[in-house]
Amino acid sequence: MATALSEEELDNEDYYSLLNVRREASSEELKAAYRRLCMLYHPDKHRDPELKSQAERLFNLVHQAYEVLSDPQTRAIYDIYGKRGLEMEGWEVVERRRTPAEIREEFERLQREREERRLQQRTNPKGTISVGVDATDLFDRYDEEYEDVSGSSFPQIEINKMHISQSIEAPLTATDTAILSGSLSTQNGNGGGSINFALRRVTSAKGWGELEFGAGDLQGPLFGLKLFRNLTPRCFVTTNCALQFSSRGIRPGLTTVLARNLDKNTVGYLQWRWGIQSAMNTSIVRDTKTSHFTVALQLGIPHSFALISYQHKFQDDDQTRVKGSLKAGFFGTVVEYGAERKISRHSVLGAAVSVGVPQGVSLKVKELEKQRESAATDVLQKKQEAESAVRLMQESVRRIIEAEESRMGLIIVNAWYGKFVNDKSRKSEKVKVIDVTVPLQCLVKDSKLILTEASKAGLPGFYDPCVGEEKNLKVLYQFRGVLHQVMVLDSEALRIPKQSHRIDTDG
């Protein structure tokens, strides 16, 4: 039985890139691309249940793309309005009398507008709203002492604190980013606010530095310097120096954090803080797809404590999470439990109950505005889809390589896609480059590889490893026993083999 595709999956795909055809492709070109991908992803070719399910999803997606692009009317609507336009009843949004040239002109205009909106979205806005509710009277009442007081039969529940924060980012250059943030808070009738401006510069593939300036009504001006550096592939250090100006003078502060990846999902931290609330802290954090676990111990002035917390992540559409923690120290003991749930595309609503000795009972309600977290989720989803497609390609790629080797044809030795750092940085950022050797070899036909003038992120087996940044495709291939190499921009067309790509080995 065919697997249905969600609206989000359909809306995130570029049908032209998926079929690897030009936007001006003829019906014959569309049909040839469709037949080739159907042979690759046909569910009947796979016996393993997991691979069969993945093949059904990709097969249906290819079929959906071909159905839209093979019909002139639906293709015209798709070119202008995208997949949302296809959902409009009666297709009244497009005049049937419009010529292909008029449709193309309108599409190009809307494409420019989309690029402008994409640049605006790179400001990466983030915000948090947190509300504290004091519910102690629900659990610890003075009924005997106040039984004669009017209205004493009702528990007294009050909002005792609230915190609101917001931040935006503005990329200035490829290495510089400006960050503006602010916050407002109130607790037990006393309130205050602050504003901060930071300038971050990426100095190399291993590190970055950040200057921070801040001011607020509760605290004086703040000047800070933050440095980050990768020491080894599994270890990094962060140092933060700050000067806090107040009516009592200048208060210096220094915080250093040394972290190491203990395994794929676990990180250990050692933190030393001097100056403002001096302390030493060690913690271990384990984060997996279904859970988040933290254990920490701190010795410091004025607070020393031990903490253990656990969060379970349900694998549902609403991204529901339940959590609990126990914190004990010189201040007393606090037990907290709660849950959070995604209520819209960019918002999460959470609530937690905190029971403390001697603090009492409080209820916290939190709403997070997360404009860019959804983008990170999309990248993870696309990565999983690309990995599934690559697994389905393995058998076809093996046959293609055998056929190409028999006639000394085109063999893709290595291929990478993503952001490549310039020579001054001496090293490429490996985390932003993905291996696409198998997907490219799968597209080889009759010792030729042809990629259209479009983003490569939509090709089967590809995904965007660095959203919003400039990307390239680098290919090392062998043709007639000779090595060739080429690098092209993300949206640049590519045809190989070519004599100009040949690597000169005479020297």
Q: What is the residue-wise DSSP string for 324-373?
A: EEEEEETTEEEEEEEEEEEEETTEEEEEEEEEEETTEEEEEEEEEEETTH
More confident: 334 or 95: 334
Is residue 281 within 8 Å of residue 294, measured between CB atoms? no
Q: 154 pLDDT exceeds 90? A: no
Domain harbouring 236, CATH code: 2.40.160.10
Domain harbouring 32, CATH code: 1.10.287.110
Q: 464 pLDDT exceeds 60? A: yes
More confident: 379 or 34: 34
Q: Is residue 142 part of a domain?
A: no
pLDDT-derived band at 203 (thresholds 50, 70, 90) equals: confident
pLDDT-derived band at 12 (thresholds 50, 70, 90) equals: very low
Q: 374 pLDDT exceeds 90? A: no
Helix axes 49-70, 373-406, angle to 10 degrees: 90
Q: Given this model, what pLDDT does residue 124 score?
A: 65
Q: Is residue 343 part of a domain?
A: yes
- Map tokens 């916050």 to a residue: 183
In angstroms, rounded to a whole number, what is the distance separating the alpha carbons of residues 222 and 215? 6
pLDDT-derived band at 184 (thresholds 50, 70, 90) equals: confident
Q: Given this model, what pLDDT does residue 132 score?
A: 78
Q: Given this model, what pLDDT does residue 366 score?
A: 57
200 and 329 within one domain = yes
State mean pLDDT over 57-74. 86
Kindly report the length of the chain: 507
How many Cβ atoms sit within 10 Å of the Cβ of residue 398? 11
504: Cα separation from own chain's centroid: 41
Q: 369 pLDDT exceeds 50? A: no
Q: 276 pLDDT exceeds 80? A: no
pLDDT-derived band at 115 (thresholds 50, 70, 90) equals: low
Q: Given this model, what pLDDT does residue 297 score?
A: 94
Q: Is residue 91 part of a domain?
A: no
More confident: 499 or 372: 499
Q: 260 pLDDT exceeds 80? A: yes
Q: Which of 39-53, 318-332, 375-389 has the highest mean pLDDT?
A: 318-332
Q: 345 pLDDT exceeds 70? A: no
Q: Given this model, what pLDDT does residue 506 score?
A: 54
Q: Given this model, what pLDDT does residue 9 score?
A: 42
Residue range(s) defining the domain that contains residue 22: 10-85
Q: Given this model, what pLDDT does residue 185 score?
A: 84
Q: Is residue 342 part of a domain?
A: yes
State mean pLDDT over 408-414. 92
| Least confident among 311-320, 332-341, 422-431 | 422-431
Residues 6+ apart with CB under 8 A from 300: 273, 277, 278, 279, 280, 281
235 and 163 within one domain = yes
248 and 215 within one domain = yes
Q: Is residue 478 part of a domain?
A: yes
Q: 311 pLDDT exceeds 90? A: yes
348 and 217 within one domain = yes
Q: Given this model, what pLDDT does residue 283 score?
A: 94
Q: 430 pLDDT exceeds 80? A: no
State mean pLDDT over 308-314. 93
Q: Given this model, what pLDDT does residue 107 score?
A: 55
When the pLDDT of each residue in the chain is averaged and rounded to a whole number, the result is 79
In angstroms, rounded to a whole number, what is the distance separating the alpha carbons of residues 431 and 488? 20
358 and 464 within one domain = no
341 and 385 within one domain = no
In angstroms, rounded to a whole number, what is the distance separating the alpha carbons of residues 331 and 312? 28
pTM of the model: 0.46
Is residue 138 within 8 Å of residue 155, measured between CB atoms? yes
Q: Given this model, what pLDDT does residue 360 score?
A: 59
pLDDT-derived band at 90 (thresholds 50, 70, 90) equals: very low
Q: What are phi and psi of 404, to 5 degrees?
A: -70, -40
Residues 6+ apart with CB under 8 A from 448: 410, 495, 496, 497
pLDDT digits (tens, 9 = 90+) for 325-343: 999 987 788 899 999 887 7
End position of a domain, from candidates 370, 405, 437: 370
Q: Is residue 148 part of a domain?
A: no
Q: 234 pLDDT exceeds 70? A: yes
Question: CB under 8 Å, gap of 24 or more: what pairs does 331-336 form?
Answer: 331/303, 331/305, 332/356, 332/357, 332/358, 332/359, 333/357, 334/359
End position of a domain, from candidates 370, 388, 420: 370
366 and 381 within one domain = no
| Least confident among 99-103, 227-231, 297-301, 343-347 | 99-103
289 and 269 within one domain = yes
381 and 365 within one domain = no
If one counts the domains in the chain, the total is 3
State mean pLDDT over 306-313. 93
Q: 377 pLDDT exceeds 80? A: no
Residues 6+ apart with CB under 8 A from 251: 243, 244, 245, 275, 276
399 and 437 within one domain = yes
Number of helices and strands (H, E) in the chain? 8, 22
State mean pLDDT over 164-184. 84
197 and 311 within one domain = yes
289 and 219 within one domain = yes
**Helix, strand, coil in percent for the chain, rounding step 5:** 30, 40, 30
Q: Is residue 145 part of a domain?
A: no
Q: Is residue 44 part of a domain?
A: yes
**Percent of the chain predicted with pLDDT > 90:** 21
Q: What are phi and psi of 237, to 5 degrees?
A: -135, 145
